[in-house]
Amino acid sequence: MQIIKQRNQLTPLSTRLKAEGAKIGFVPTMGALHQGHISLVEESKRRTNITIASIFVNPTQFNDPKDLEKYPKPIEQDIAMLEAAGCDILYLPEANDIYGPITEVTDKFDLGGLDLGLEGASRPGHFAGVAQVVKILLEVTRPDLLFLGQKDFQQCLILTRLVSSLQMPITVVMCAIYREPHGLAMSSRNVRLSADIRQKAGAIYALLQNAITLLPILSSEEIQQIAIASLNTIANFKVDYFLILNAKNLQPITRQEKVSTIVIITAVIVDGVRLLDNVVME
């Protein structure tokens, strides 16, 4: 695996590879890799000729400086995992290679309101930072396919809109959530939880599954209330939101509305750690 730290080396290489007929897949990460990230690399390997991954802990998407400080950075372990997965190129930049001398959000994007609710409401400025850094990363790597994990469903919709609005010739591929044996969606934040709490956090996925079974017999509001009450009874669990929404625009579904796809989506603070999960249904 080739490790590149400067964009002025990676962009010409990517441009040359594409001119030679290579199909490039890109997996952006903030490191602290787990099998969920590796599954994205493996999907890229199946669908493209060259897989590029990036590791960059982006400061502009953390509205809480303490959260940024706590974010794990096991870089040697991450490199070993990517090499074992067969990743071709790792882009490992410093902040000045991404942003130059000023590390702040300067670009403005029309995200169609997708950034305002859910994580956007709880973490102001988060998606502005995500959109800006992903735009830069896509300009640097010039991929044909962008691989993202479904766990961050709202982010997937936002980045799909970003790519479309900027008219980038890139296909966004949303890959299935990779789960721990007890059902908890894999996340870099999971390492901050004790083994016992991680086991209990499997209840999040269990209640998402239960919500599916209740859809034919209860209203969305009733299902949401049941799930929130159930999760909040677990010690050190606090639900931020548990909602049943139109998967195309993240809006509530009216009784008269015909919807092709729904998402049941939640964020739960577990022992001080914010955990995201969702299920999507046609």
User: What is the C-alpha separation between 171 and 166, in angstroms, rounded?
Assistant: 13
> Catalytic residue among 34, 37, 126, 182, which?
37
User: What is the C-alpha separation between 184 and 35, in angstroms, rounded?
Assistant: 13
Number of helical (H) and strand (E) elements in the chain, helices listed first? 11, 9
**In the numeric block, which tokens belong to residue 258?**
């015909």
* Three-state secondary structure call for residue 20: coil
Among 107, 100, 149, residue whose Cα is nearest residue 127: 107
34 carries an active-site annotation: no
* Three-state secondary structure call for residue 237: strand
Question: Hunting for tokens 């909040």 — which residue is that?
Answer: 232
Q: What is the SS3 string spanning 29-94?
A: ECCCCCHHHHHHHHHHHHHCCEEEEEECCCHHHCCCHHHHHHCCCCHHHHHHHHHHHCCCEEECCC
Q: Which residues are catalytic?
A: 37
